[in-house]
Amino acid sequence: MRDFSDEELERYSRHIILQDVGIEGQEKIANSKVLVIGAGGLGSPVALYLAAAGVGEIGIVDGDVVDLSNLQRQVIHATADIGVPKVLSAKAKMEAINPNVKVTVYQKFLDASNILDIVKGYDFVIDGTDNFSAKFLINDACILANVPYSHGGILRFGGQTMTIKPHESACYACVFDSPPPANAIPTCSSAGILGAVAGMLGTIQAAEALKYIVGVGEPLYNRLLTFDAKTMNFRNVNFKKNPKCRVCGGEGIKEIRDYEAVVCEAKL
C-alpha cells in the first residue's frame, strides 16, 4: 500500500471517500502513466483533470507553440503563453495544480519513426489530435503496443469519442477503416468549433482514462458516443470488432506507417 502523505490524503479526499474508488483506487491512479497526445482543445482539459486527479506520470506530446487563436478553447494556455511551446505551457499549469505529479514533455510531432517508442511506455493514451492522419497513426501504434486509448474528435458544435482496448474491442479502423479523401471533411480551422465543446469532450476522455485505471464502470468499448451541443442530444452507436479489420483483424498490421495528411482548405 502506498504511504500517502497528510497533504495527499486531503488533496484526494473526494476520491478516497468515493465508493468504487477509495484509497485503493487512488493508489492505482498514483501508480499510473497516461500519455496525452495533443496539448490543444481536447488535451487541455484532459491534462488539467489528470494532473488534479493525481496520475503519477503524465506524458504530453505536441510540437506546436501557443497561438492567439488557440485561446478560445485551449484553456490550459494563457495570453502570456503566446509563442511558448504548448508542452511547456501545459507542464507549468499541470505542476501548478499538483506538484506531486511527474510531467514528461515531448516537444515534437509524432510519426511512424517515433510513436511506438513513446506510446509503449504508458498504461493509457489520450488522442487529442485534430487530423485524421494522426488519429489513424495513434490507433495503429496502440494496437501494436497493446496500449488502450481514448479517441476523440470535435467539429463545430459536435463531438465523438470511443475507447479502444486492443485485441478485445473494436478499434478506430474497425469503425472508420481509413482516412477520408482531401476536402471531404472540414477541420476546426476551416469550419470552426464552439470552444466549450472541446471542454465537454476532453472531460469525458479524462473520465474514461480514470475509469480504466481504477477499473470501475463501463468504458466506451464498442461504442461511439456522439453529441450535439446545440440540442444537447447524446447518442451511443454500438459497433462490433471487425474480424477483417486491416489493423486489428486476422493477422493485423505488423509495422507502423505514416498516413498522408488530409487537408480541407478553408472556404471563407
- pLDDT per residue over 37-70, tens digit each? 999 999 999 999 999 999 999 999 999 999 999 9
Model pLDDT, residue 178: 86
Q: Is residue 252 part of a domain?
A: no
- 3-state percent breakdown (helix, strand, coil) of the chain, nearest 5: 35, 20, 45
Model pLDDT, residue 261: 74
Interval 196-213 mean pLDDT: 98
Any idea which of 107-121, 157-171, 248-262 has the lowest mean pLDDT?
A: 248-262
- pLDDT per residue over 70-114, tens digit each? 999 999 999 999 999 999 999 999 999 999 999 999 999 999 999
String of DSSP letters for 152-198: EEEEBTEEEEEEE-TTTS--HHHHH-SPPPTTSS--HHHH-B-HHHH
Whether 26 and 14 have beta carbons less than 8 Å apart is answered as: no
Model pLDDT, residue 148: 98
Whether 15 and 29 have beta carbons less than 8 Å apart is answered as: yes
Q: Is residue 93 part of a domain?
A: yes
Q: Is residue 39 part of a domain?
A: yes
Q: Is residue 248 part of a domain?
A: no
Q: pLDDT-based confidence at 262, cuts 50/70/90?
A: low
Interval 25-39 mean pLDDT: 98
Q: pLDDT-based confidence at 184, cuts 50/70/90?
A: low
- Average pLDDT over the chain, rounded to whole? 93
List the domain range (segments joined by +) for residue 159: 32-238
- pLDDT for 191 beyond 80: no
Q: Which residues contact 230 (CB under 8 A, 6 or more apart)?
A: 157
Compute how many other C-beta atoms are within 10 angstroms of the C-beta atom of residue 142.
30
Write down the H helix ranges in 100-158: 115-119, 132-145
Q: Is residue 84 part of a domain?
A: yes
More confident residue, 189 or 227: 227
Q: Is residue 1 part of a domain?
A: no
CATH number (domain holding residue 48): 3.40.50.720
Count up the domains in the chain and report the number: 1
- pLDDT for 126 beyond 50: yes
Q: Which of 58, 50, 45, 60 is nearest to 203 (CA)?
A: 45
Whether 56 and 23 have beta carbons less than 8 Å apart is answered as: no
The fraction of the chain above a pLDDT of 70, given in percent, is 94
Model pLDDT, residue 265: 33
Interval 252-265 mean pLDDT: 76
Q: What is the pTM of this model?
A: 0.94
- pLDDT per residue over 2-18, tens digit each? 899 999 999 999 999 99
- pLDDT for 264 beyond 50: no
Q: Is residue 2 part of a domain?
A: no
Q: Is residue 130 part of a domain?
A: yes
Interval 19-26 mean pLDDT: 97
Model pLDDT, residue 267: 29
Q: Give the integer Cα–Cα distance in Å for 129 and 236.
A: 22
C-alpha cell at 10: 486531503
